[in-house]
Amino acid sequence: GAGVSQTPSNKVTEKGKYVELRCDPISGHTALYWYRQSLGQGPEFLIYFQGTGAADDSGLPNDRFFAVRPEGSVSTLKIQRTERGDSAVYLCASSSQGPGTEAFFGQGTRLTVV
């Protein structure tokens, strides 16, 4: 595809449920990032992959959050035992060279925990 694709675009889930959010980066981009954006705020870093490995996961808020990128392309952000405070837009971005170079963002997944 031409850009970063995120699915689903919207997800409503009940408190305590498990959710998976998917990101398809731009073809050939080795770096992939997940950010979380709350209403009226700037994106907050969650995790950064270089290839298949997590180069920096310091932004993951707690152990309920986990992300994988098994083949160095598609990534999945997994949230266990969702809480209402997890409601936000989850953004994925990719770049060809890593942080400090142009990152292209997807349109995000709006997660609502009810």
- Interface residues with other proteins (CB under 8 A) are 4, 33, 40-45, 48, 55-56, 59, 91, 93, 98-100, 102-108
Beta carbon of residue 3, minimum distance to other proteins (angstroms, whole number): 9
Beta carbon of residue 12, minimum distance to other proteins (angstroms, whole number): 16
In the bound state with other proteins, the residue whose beta carbon lies nearer, of 8 and 16, is 8
In the bound state with other proteins, the residue whose beta carbon lies nearer, of 9 and 52, is 9
Q: How far apart are CA 112 and CA 13, in angstroms?
A: 6
Beta carbon of residue 36, minimum distance to other proteins (angstroms, whole number): 11
Beta carbon of residue 64, minimum distance to other proteins (angstroms, whole number): 20
> What is the separation of C-alpha 75 from the centre of its chain, rounded to a whole number of angstroms?
8
- % helix / strand / coil in the chain, to the nearest 5? 5, 50, 50
In the bound state with other proteins, the residue whose beta carbon lies nearer, of 20 and 56, is 56
- Tokens representing 70 are 């098994």
- Number of Cβ within a 10 Å radius of residue 17: 12
Q: How far apart are CA 26 and CA 95, in angstroms?
A: 8
